[in-house]
Structure formats: structure tokens, C-alpha cells
Structure 1
Amino acid sequence: MLAVTQIKYIKHEVNQKGDSYSDIGRRMRLDPYTVKKYANKGDFTEREKQERPSPVMDPVKPILDKWIKEDLKKKKKNHRTAKRMFHQLVKYHSFIGSYRTVRAYVSKKKKELKEYIEEASLPLESIPGTAQVDFGTAPFLYHSEVIDLPYLVMSFPYSNSFYFQVFPSENTECLLEGLQRIFHHMGGVPHTIRFDNLSPAVKKIGAKGERALTDTFERFVLHHGFHYEFCNPGKGNEKGHVEAMVKYVRNNFLLPECTVLDLDQFNETLWELAEVDRDRSHYEKQVLQSKLYIEEQERWLMLPEKSFECVRHQEVKADKYGFVSIDQKQYSTSPRFAKQVVRVRITYRFIVILNEQNEVIVKHHRLYGVKRKSMVWQPYLDLLSRRPRAIKYSSLYEQFPQIWTDYLNNCTEEEQKSALRLLGKLLKNNDFRLLNQALQSASVHGHPSADQIKHCFYSLLHDDHPYQTIKPTVEVPQVPVASRGLSHYDSLFQNGGEIK
């Protein structure tokens, strides 16, 4: 349609001055028929465009719409071309139309969907397939102690639904582990997720609001392909839905404090709680939340083919005893890595120490709470069995259970070697409990040998009667108390070389 000024000019020149259509067409560089059309046009009412029915295309439009929406959940390289769609319509749906018609419709529909997805004026609450994420805290009876633990909530504003998982911390590894668990349980990824400025995700906020993301979080976003949004600093109301849902989850599912024996097993019970909760009417839309949730599913992105490894790698220098410090907690490596740089693989559950060839040196359960040091004995016991005197003059001596510290203190050098070799063979999963019972049982009638401790250990392991010495039937004369162990060496040095 011509501009209003052009139409006015045509009407004036034709109707008032009587110029010919051809003359006006030459002056305006228009076709004379166009000039005639607007000179004589009397109705300029804007009318809605009427789409004519298409008996060939109309039956296949819903099929094409479905394919286009499915493809938008995938990587671009996996999208079907219009030509491929045309061939599928011909083969499976007896389509008799032309390829050009299909191509034009697919192009138009993709443009419409793209404009809808990129619409920025709509509030997040009104868009299906979006989510908000935040942490909350609640009390739990965990390991026989009432402590506060964080729980991660992902809420879906459109359907007013949610999922949540409990973790020992709010660190990067717990955040990403929680998000990925929820994605896999859902079977898809929200196309847009709004976060607060969580430190596991955001390293720094720039002057103009730009965010410097943590490396692991940035790789997680790229892997799953979702769009992220962050609230403005101090504007928690911008993710008001998840904040309300954090409170709802705590009040309805986590109070009074839940008893947790195994955190992973406990988390498996939480999926059903969230899903049953959807069987109620939406507070505004008066529709079951479970039905709205189905609409959410149609807008999710597809899961990546491979899971993301929620791991952080770090290089750390061990101290003189072979301990490394991770997040202000200490973990043992091996005596041969003392004062050397080792590679550490950090997940929410484990701290794995690796050598230069990425071979596992030792694996620890990650520490949370007040406990500050994790000791895995096996790498140290071999060294100590060859150099037993060194144990008294290192902090490692204090790491043994007290019953073993007292026993080793009263051993001769050869007895210490045998006892340490026995510990290296029998100690499993760093658990001294059965070994402590064996030593206590073997010590009932005096200072035991390594073989006696071993006998008691296997008797307890197989529920046999522990080793017991045979009591004499006749009275035995009292034997003077003998000095055992290496304490006489200490006396030698303390008394200037004279043994008393």
C-alpha cells in the first residue's frame, strides 16, 4: 500500500487538476493502473486478512507444527529440513501438494515461533517451560544430630509446581548435581532458568550488571543449552515464585525435622512428594497443576546425549606429611607426595587425589560440617612398617585410635613392624572398629603379638570365640614387671647416655 501523502497527491492531481493517469504515473514512477486504483478508491477501512481454506495444506499443518516444535528442542544440526519434511509427508501421510508450499509454510512457522520465544515483554510466570532456582535451609536429624542442611528448589511458575533435593552444602558441585538430577528425572531441560546471584554460579558482578560466571557453571550451561537469567543485586522479588516455593517446601515437607540415615536414599523419596502435590487446582487459572505441567513439558529442551560430569579439578601442593587442603579441609595423600603438587578431582561426594598420570592415589569421602581432616591409612602403613621409629616423631602417631597408639608405644621395633604390616593387610575402608575389638580381646592376658591379634580379628570376623589364653591350673610365681617397647631408648637420651 502507498503512503498516505502519495495517495493524497494522486487524488488531488486526478480529481482536482484533471491530470491523466499516465502523466502522474511517470512523475511518481508508478504504473498507471496503480494510479487509477488509488484515484478512484473510496474505502480505506483496514480489514483483517482472511486466510483462504487450503484443502491440501490444512490437514498436514498440525503435523508440520509438531515436527517444528520437536526440532526446536534439539541441536540445530539435528533439525529436519523442509525438504525432509516434504518427503515424510508424501511417504507417510499421502501428501499431494508441492515442496514449495511446504517450504513456505515451514519458514513462516519457524519465524513465528522464534518471535514468540524471544518475546521479552512477557513476565516469566506466564511462559511455560521456564524455571526459577534457589536454595533454602531446614533442620534434619542427620547422623544422630539435629543440623541445618540446604535444599535446592527448582520451581515452575507457569504450573506452580516444583522439585527439590537436599544436599550437605551450597557449593558449586551440589548446585550442579542437583540441577542435573532434576533434569534427568524430568526428562528435559527448561529453556530459561532464573537464578539469584549464587556464588557457585557467579564469580563477579560488573558495573553494568554483566556477570562473570564460574568456569564449571558456564560449561554446565553450554552442555545443556538453556538460557540463564540473574536477578539484579538485592532484588530477590525478581524470583519471587521460587522464594515462595522454598518456604512452601519447608513448611509442608521438611518440618518437623526429618530423620536422614542416607542422604541419597532420602532424596529418592522426594520426587513423589512433589508430583503428588500437583494434583490440586492452580491458585489463579483454576486448572489442575498437573495439566499445566504437561504444557510445560512440551516447551522443554531435550536432554543432552551424555550426562555432564559435575567435577572441579584443582592442583594443590601437599604439606610435609602429604596432606592437601581443599575448602579448608585436610585430606591425606601418600608420604611419597609430601611437598609435591598433586591433581585433585572434586565432586559433591568425593575428593580423589591423582598423580601426574591421572591415576588414583587415594579417594576420600568429602568432608562437611565440623570435621576438618580425613585420613586414609593404607598409603602410610607401608612406610611406617619399614620405619617404625618415625611414627613417634610425626603427627601421624596421633591419628591412630588411642588403643593402637598405646599398643605401638609398648612394642619393640620388630613388634611394631609386624603390627603395622598387619594393619596394612587387615584395615579396610579406614574402619578400625573390628581391629580395635581384636586388639582389646588379645590384650586381656598381656601384651599380644601380631599373630595373636590376627587370630582374634578373624575369630571376630567369623563370629567364632575370640582368642583366649589358657589359665594355668597351678600357682605361678610372680614375675617382675619388664619394661617393654622403645621407652628405654628415650631414657638413654634423657640421662646422658646412662641406662638406669
Structure 2
Amino acid sequence: MTVPLDVRNDIRSMDAGGVPRAEIARRLRLSRNTVARYADMADMSPEPPVPADRPHPAIDPHIGWIDDLLEADLGAPRKQRHTAKRIYDRLVKERGYGGSYSSVQRHVRRWRLERATGVRGGFLELEWAPGTAQADYGNFEAVVSGERLRLKLLALTLPHSNARYAVAGMSQRSECMCAGLADIFGWIGRSPRELVLDNATEAGRRVRGEVTESHLFSLFRAHYRMGSRYCNPNSGNEKGSVENAVGFLRRNLLVPVPRVGSLDELNALLRDGCDRLNAASRARDGRPVPEALAEDLAAMLALPSAPFDAVRWTRCRSDKRGMVTVDGRGYMAGPAWHSRELLVGVRADTVEILADRGRRVAVLPRAFGDGPAVRNPLSLVPALIARPRAFGESVIRRDMPEALVRAIDSLDAAGRRRVLRSISRAAAPSGFEAACAAAQRVIEGGRVPDDATVDVLARRIAAGRPAAKGGADLAVYDGFLREGGARAC
């Protein structure tokens, strides 16, 4: 039974408030098992909407045999490889298969897709109960790594104690807001019982008195078992605490315009500043904030055991270059994934691209605003291995050391393929830069790189243990390879 999000929130809110589960089941007209399932759920993070694997009793006993045929076909001429129809005929004749042809066809298609690597008037004074929080956004500017950026300040206040917290981000999209709130909750060590927001955030919208909450924020709220309330953005007194806090924190912590090396450094400064201001401030009743904050913390909720993954999943079709467009910005999956429907998970600082049944294609840094496509040089390597002669015009050249590019240019197609494959395999544990540096040193040592040598040397470089001056000492690797050859004989 699928339970709507608002009913899940009711179950978790009532369970957090101490309502017996039998009473929850009676009020919501649900079974006790359903109430227990959603009340005990540790993680409400959204999962990739990929179909779950299910058993196929007719074809499952033959999967290994089919996979062996397809694997052996990789060494056969293209026009002499098994089709799904030929595999089906052999299954019926040789193995007594009694299932359908469509099951065979689906498995063959899935196997080939998974292994595809080639290119194809006055205000009323309000009294706020302990444990209630308000959240709002403000704008500010900062110089990050030498670039002046327009950023968003997500502020959260506890009006009862007047405690104020803030984090900086690039956007106020729902995934950025949920990630920022999760950071603040972890900072406080508790989550609020109720969060007051307005239409300015992407948590929800009030239209003619009706609130429509975003799917991601509903999951976020259910994860932390908290309630929410939306007020009129034009009525400042409804959440005056956080609106005042945005201006207060901006004046006290962001003037003059901060100059930092990264967004993480900026958030560390904001955290230190908020802790300092909270320690020196007073609540509305005149008590020190730390004293009143103890009452807020006592009324707030314990954090869930599992962290919330603030991710917005969307389906995109890649273009002929293997690029998907999300929020107006291009992200390169790679030519091997051209003209395919891909699943894209958008987080506050990364974009994850999945294919088929959840197979990870790439994880790229999130970009905002206009600019070039975001890419990882490694996403281009499978296509270059399939077409090594295209290296001469590939954009990957700008990501490699010039000496390595010249060395690869001097090789024939087989040599290029060998170098690129060794870089691709070494980059997985050591990173692209270390793999390129290792391949270059092997070439400078007078040899064409191989997988084992480049991998070992790249790991040393990534660990901060570069080879001695004058290039890599490859004698140890030569000895290792000779020993391996002798044992093989």
C-alpha cells in the first residue's frame, strides 16, 4: 500500500509527539503495520526512481550461458555475432528453454547497454513556543577564489531564545535549501518541531490560501518528523525573528565584503561568527541566549540516525555529444552516452548522472548561471579508446600535460589506445592528473605505458611520493614483469 506524503508526515509527527500507534492507526484509518513501517523508517531520502529487479524464473537459470555467448562474441567479426533471435533458437534447441523470446531480447539488450563503451499599521507581538524555528533567505556578495559572486544567505532562528544560524549557498533551489537546513540542524544537534517559512523559499507555495509543498521538502520534513507552516511574505511580523536576523547577520558578519578561498571557508567564518554573536546576545525576555537556548533544545527533536540526501532526480536525454542540460547548464556524460535517456540527480554541489538501472556514469561539480559545459576529462576516454585517431582533435588535450600530448601524438593507433586505457584505469583510484603524470614519466623512461606500471606510479604520485628526479625508476617494474612472465611459462 502506497501512503501519500502528507499522511506519512502525520504518522511521523504524531509518533514523535507520543501518540500511541494504535491510536494513530485508528485516526488515520490505516493498519498498525503500515503505521509502524513509516514511523520506524530511519531514512526518508529520495531514491533514484529506477525500476526494481524482479525474478524471471524462465530465463534466470540460463543467464550465465547467455552471458558467456555474448562475452565470446566480442572477439568475433561483427556480422558473425549472436542476435537475440539466434540465442533464443539455441536456448530452445540445446537447453530446452520454455520462456518467451521477449525475455531473451530484453536481457540481451540490457547486457549490451551495460557494456557499451564505443561512440554511438503596527504589529502584534507574537510569542513563540520553544522548539519552533523560522527560516528565510537573503542576498549578499562575496569574493570567492578571486571571483565576485552573488550568493544566498539561508538564515534560521529560534525565536524563543533568539539564537541565530546561517549558511551561504549558490542558490535557493529546493535541494540547496534542504542541504543548508540539514547542515544547520547538524550544527545545532537537534531539529525543530515546527518550521515557519514563506513563499520566498522553494519549500512550498501558498496560492489563495492553499499550500503546495515541494516533493523534496516534503520528504525532508518527514525525515526529520517536523511540521511546517507557511506565512504571507508581505507580513513581516509573522516571521519577524528571521527577517531581522538576515539583516543583522549580514551587517555584522558580511561587512566588508568577505574575501575567501572557497565556499567552505566562508561557511566556517559564518559559523564562528554566529556562535560568537549567540554567546553575546540576549533573548526577548532579557536572559542570555545560551540560557534560553537550553529550553529550545529540550523541546526540539532528536536527529535521525541516517543523514538526509538532498537530491532532486530528473530524467534528461543526452545530445549527440553525450551532454545533458539541467537548469540551463550543460553537463558532459561523455560521447559513449550520446542520444540516451539518463537519470540526473541534482544536489547542492554535485550533479550525478546514472544510466540503465542505476549504473553511475559521472559525478560532476554543480555549476550555476551561464557558462561552458561541465565535464570530466575521463568521460571522453572510452570514446577515444574506441577511436584513437580522434585524439588529435579532442578537447581532452587541454587537460593533459603538453609533453604527454606530444608523446601520444607520436604513437600509432594501438599505442594511443594502450596509453589511454592505462590512464583511464589508473585514474579511478588516483585521479586524472596523477594518472597523466604517471603515464608521462613512463614515456620519458623510454617505454610505452602499461596498466600495471601506470597504476602503481599514479598511486605513489597521488599519495605525495613522486619518483626521484630524472623520471621514474622503472627497473623494479621490469623485474616484476619478468618474474610474472617466467611464472606464466
Give TM class, smaller chain. Answer: 0.5 to 0.7
The C-alpha deviation readout for 1:70-127, integer Å capped at 9, x for no partner, is x9854523799xxxxxxxxxxxxxxxxxxxxxxxxxxxxxxxxxxxxxxxx9854443
Task: Name the amino acid aligned to 1:168.
Answer: M
For residues 340 and 281 of structure 1, the distance between their equivalents in structure 2, rounded to whole angstroms, comes to: 56
Letter in 1 for 2:367: L
Cα gap change, 1:214 to 1:413, in 2 (>3 Å): same
Corresponding residue for 2:155?
153
Of 418-427 and 177-186, deviating more is 418-427
SS in 2 for 1:276: helix
Answering whether residue 130 of structure 2 is matched by residue 134 of structure 1, we say: no
| Counterpart secondary structure, 2:299 | coil
| Structure 2 residue aligned with 1:466 | 470
Letter in 2 for 1:435: C
The equivalent of 2:178 in structure 1 is 176
Q: 1:359 to 1:426 in 2, by over 3 A?
A: closer
The C-alpha deviation readout for 1:293-325, integer Å capped at 9, x for no partner, is: 222223323434543321221121111222222
Instruction: Give the conservation status (yes or no) of the 8 Å contact 1:195–1:229.
Output: yes
Counterpart mapping for 1:37-436 below 5 A: 73-77=16-20, 124-202=126-204, 204-206=205-207, 208-236=208-236, 238-264=238-264, 267-268=267-268, 270-280=270-280, 282=282, 284-368=284-368, 371-391=371-391, 396=395, 400-401=399-400, 403=402, 408=408, 411-427=411-427, 431-432=432-433, 435=436
Given the superposition, is the C-alpha separation of residues 384 and 333 from structure 1 closer, same or farther in structure 2, using an over 3 Å criterion? same
Q: Tell me how far apart the structure 1 counterparts of residues 469 and 281 of structure 2 sit (CA, whole Å).
A: 65
RMSD, aligned α-carbons: 4.1
- Evaluate the alpha carbon distance shift between residue 233 and residue 274 of structure 1 in structure 2; reply closer, same or farther with a 3 A threshold: closer
Is the partner of 2:315 in helix, strand or coil? strand
Cα separation, 2, equivalents of 1:301 and 1:311: 23
* Amino acid across the alignment from 1:466: G
User: What per-residue deviation string (whole Å, max 9, x for no partner) do you get for residues 437-485 of structure 1?
Assistant: 9759978x9xx87459979x879762412349xxxxxxxxxxxxxxxxx
CA contact (8 A) 1:124 1:130 kept: no
Q: Kindly tell me: are residues 441 and 237 of structure 1, through their superposed partners in 2, closer, same or farther at Cα, counting changes over 3 Å?
A: farther
Aligned residues: percent identity? 24
TM-score, structure 2 normalization: 0.61
- 8 A contact 1:74–1:302 mirrored in 2: no
Task: Decide whether the 8 Å contact of 2:15 with 2:21 is kept in 1.
Answer: no
Question: Partners of 2:355 and 2:279 in 1: how far apart?
Answer: 52
Q: What is the Cα deviation at residue 153 of structure 1?
A: 0.8
Is contact 2:134-2:197 (8 Å) kept? yes
- Equivalenced residue count is 355
Deviations 1:260-287 (A, max 9, x none): 4454465356445433323346375222
TM-score by length of 1: 0.59
CA distance in 1 between partners of 2:471 and 2:191 (Å): 61
- Unaligned runs of 5+ residues in structure 2 are 1-13, 24-122, 473-489
Bigger radius of gyration among the two? 1
Alignment check: 8 A CA contact 1:132 1:242 kept:
yes
SS at match of 1:319: coil
Preserved contact between residue 316 and residue 324 of structure 2 (Cα < 8 Å): yes
Q: SS of the residue aligned with 2:186?
A: helix
CA distance in 1, matches of 2:399, 2:163: 51
Aligned-residue offset at 1:154: 0.2
TM-aligned CA distance change 1:297 to 1:421, over 3 Å: closer
Aligned partner letter, 1:161: A
Does the CA contact (< 8 Å) of 2:380 and 2:396 recur in 1? Answer: no
Q: Which has the higher contact order (CA 8 A, sep 6+)?
A: 2
